[in-house]
Chain A
Amino acid sequence: MTNTGMFFRMLLSAVFRRRSRAAMAVVASLVGAATLFCLAMVCIAVPQQMNQEMRAYGANLIVTPAASTDGSGDKSGIGDDMVEHTTEMVTAKGAAKYATYRYENVRVNAAPYVMAGVDAAKVEDLNHHWNVEGDWPSAGKVLVGRDVADAMNLKVGSGITIGYRASDNAAAGSDASGSDGSGSGNSGSDASGSDGSGSGNSGSGNSQQMQDGRVSSDIMDTSGTEFRVAGIVDTGGSEDSIIYADADDVAKLTGSTRGADVIEYSVDLSGDDLTALVQSINDMTSMHVKAQQVTKITSSDTRIITMLQTLFWIVSLVVLVLTLVGVGTTISSIVSQRRNEIGLRKALGASSRSIGVEFYAESAVYGLVGGLLGTGVGYGFALALTTAVFQRSLGFNWWLGIASVVLSVLVAVIASVPPVHRATRIDPAIVLREE
């Protein structure tokens, strides 16, 4: 047998032949590791869950056509290829859902409204918080905002005639997309709605033309295309004053095909990461698009996650200190019980260093066993907790698991430093003095 073999033989003997005392130290480490690991798992899961929940409240990033040098927006909107390209940039940074909106000023019973051409499935996927009575828009069927429905006494299944005047959109297309950007400083959704309304008003203002020296107006013209009301959307926001239709229907109505005025993204990023993404898109001036965060969503998201993380750190620190005290007290007790043995080893010629190494290694074994068991127990608790509270399963985080075991070993070793340091200063003569 080599000296290394003897070292491990002594180590394992100390651990396994003194089971009751070893169990005390292991249990102390186990409790600490279980608490810390459970806390860490939950506190990692909760922000993720919060992020997912917040993503259901709509977009946190909007992209609009960049303003051209004369200040007007790009009237052709954002083409499909650019939508695809932008989406690739976004999804490269984080999982994302998106929907495109093409805004047009239309007339219903001669009154101006904003109509949005959308892919209903994508909009629905993006905005879980929308309260829709009836169905989402499809071919020949529109989804009207609650305010629109109330103004015209519309119900699900009602008919609605929507007219389109190119003159209404002479400058409005650019208004819709251009002012979306400025409006989104407050809120993307708010911006797109109110801007749409705004451009509708401006559109009607522009409809006045001179004919035979008199102002000629088609304000009483109620002709248009007949649609059915598939559903009524009620969000309490600007969406309530918009009419949503299938993008193809809008193209047919307007007689033209063009790109989107707004792309709304719900991307799984927050804080600095989201800011960096916005910056990277805006830096690509050749794309002729402008990206902005939806402050309402991102700031609340960031605030909640920051609060949770702060809470995690504070609680973790307290648990860590308690673990150190618990493990330290236990190890201290074990070392105190072995004063005679330490004195004997010194009398046999052991150096303080070799005794220190033996006890630190023993503490590390307690920390390792306690850490492994505690991590398993902590995962069990975390799984039970997330299943009960969030109704979601929780995958084992291996990095966190390894960190938990390593931390347990470190805590056990650090906690044993003071008692072992005291022990290594034991005068070997005490072994002989005791009568």
Chain B
Amino acid sequence: MTMLLELDHISKIYGDLKAVDDLSLTVPAGEWLAIVGSSGSGKTTLMNMIGCMDTPSKGSVKLEGRKLEDLNATQLADVRKNMIGLVFQKFYLVPHLTAVENVMVAQYYHSVVDEKEALAALDRVGLKDRAHHLPGQLSGGEQQRVCVARALINCPKIILADEPTGNLDEKNEKIVLDLFRQLHEQGTTIIVVTHDALVASCAEREIMLNHGVLVGEKWNDPAAKAAYEAAGGRPASTGSTAEDAQRGETAIGFADPTKAAKTGGEA
């Protein structure tokens, strides 16, 4: 098992505020990782750094062994369009383009536009018959599915999803999670930022941030954990001196209160 993503003591500092504090993490190809934590815990900042949309103040990010800090803006844009598929909480579809055109935008910036392929991607998320509707004519769940179709159209190595079900009802949440499950089964690496326990529990592995500090890590899939450790994978760690920080080689388990709320007390 090779490590697709390696974070080596990365920090993001705004003045006196450490949005992410000295985090080290490795993610193998094909893993489904959830980054959980409350609002303001640094999840999105971490995701921006992984997605080449932001650079760490300290430390190093490696994607397929290539250090991102050595790349200029154009090269980072290339990495973004070639390796990463993005799914946002607020969907961020271009409002004056139809569903299929929104998917084709990703193709346009990546390589060559292929409408049939874009329609096939929409078919995959169950929206072929809504392909020529504008985002304003689609429900929230449908918009998020368009967003997923756009993320997977270029066959990215990683799908980064920021609160992908944050604006969806349970039915649409299930549809989107099923889509992620399918992508994961096909070997796509998925990193989901969420504070939703149900979404997090679908992932093989969860790490928890609190005020930018890694405070816990747990595996929901023992087989995946075993494979990870067998490949030389080590628990995530932080160099932070915060009291509850997860330092060293031992993972600290955690119970997410929101999970308890959603699952009826089952931690």
Contact = CB atoms under 8 A, between A and B. Distances in A.
A1 B113 contact: yes
A271 to B, nearest CB: 54
B81 A427 contact: no
B48 A354 contact: no
B179 interface: no
Interface residues of A, number: 33
B88 A6 contact: no
B223 interface: no
A3 interface: yes
A6 B108 contact: yes
Interface in A98-137: none
Q: Name which of A6, A345, A434 has the most chain B CB atoms within 10 A of its CB.
A: A6
A22 B173 CA distance: 36
A89 interface: no
B101 A9 contact: yes
A344 B101 contact: no
A92 to B, nearest CB: 59
Given A3-B108, A351-B74, A341 B94 contact: yes
Given A3-B113, A347-B53, A348-B80, A429 B48 contact: yes
Interface size class of B (residues with CB under 8 A): 35 or more
B202 interface: no
B38 interface: no
Given A1-B115, A13-B101, A17-B96, A348 B109 contact: yes
B96 A433 contact: no
A2 interface: yes
B141 interface: no
Interface in A317-351: 340-341, 343-351
Nearest to B54: A429
Interface string A338-376: 001101111111111010000000000000000000000
Interface in A393-435: 427-429, 431-435
Q: Which of A10, A344, A432 has the most CB of B within 10 A?
A: A432
A432 B162 contact: yes
A14 interface: yes
Given A428-B53, A433-B44, A434-B90, A346 B97 contact: no
A6 to B, nearest CB: 4
A255 interface: no
Interface in B199-252: none
B12 to A, nearest CB: 11
A348 B107 CA distance: 9
B101 A345 contact: no
A252 interface: no
A385 to B, nearest CB: 40
A71 B107 CA distance: 90
Contacts of A213: none
A354 B150 CA distance: 19
Interface string A1-32: 11101110110011001100000000000000
Contacts of A7: 108
B113 A18 contact: no
B17 interface: no
Interface string B31-53: 00000000100001001100101
Nearest to A428: B53
Given A432-B48, A434-B90, A348 B106 contact: yes
Contacts of B113: 1-3, 5-6
B69 interface: no
B68 interface: no
Contacts of A432: 44, 47-48, 51, 53, 88, 162
Contacts of B192: none
B29 to A, nearest CB: 21
Nearest to B114: A1
B90 A10 contact: no
A349 B39 CA distance: 27
Contacts of A1: 104, 113-115
A116 B150 CA distance: 94
A344 B92 contact: yes
A14 to B, nearest CB: 6
Contacts of B134: 17
A432 to B, nearest CB: 5
Interface string A205-247: 0000000000000000000000000000000000000000000
A355 to B, nearest CB: 10
Contacts of A433: 44, 48
Nearest to A353: B74
A38 B101 CA distance: 41
Given A1-B115, A347-B86, 20 more contacts: A6-B104, A6-B108, A7-B108, A13-B97, A17-B134, A18-B95, A341-B92, A346-B77, A347-B51, A348-B80, A348-B81, A348-B86, A348-B105, A349-B78, A349-B82, A352-B73, A427-B53, A432-B44, A432-B53, A432-B162
14 contacts: A1-B104, A2-B113, A9-B101, A13-B97, A13-B101, A14-B96, A343-B92, A345-B94, A348-B105, A348-B106, A348-B150, A349-B77, A349-B106, A432-B47
The 6 closest A-B pairs by CB, nearest first: A349-B81, A17-B96, A429-B53, A6-B113, A429-B48, A349-B109
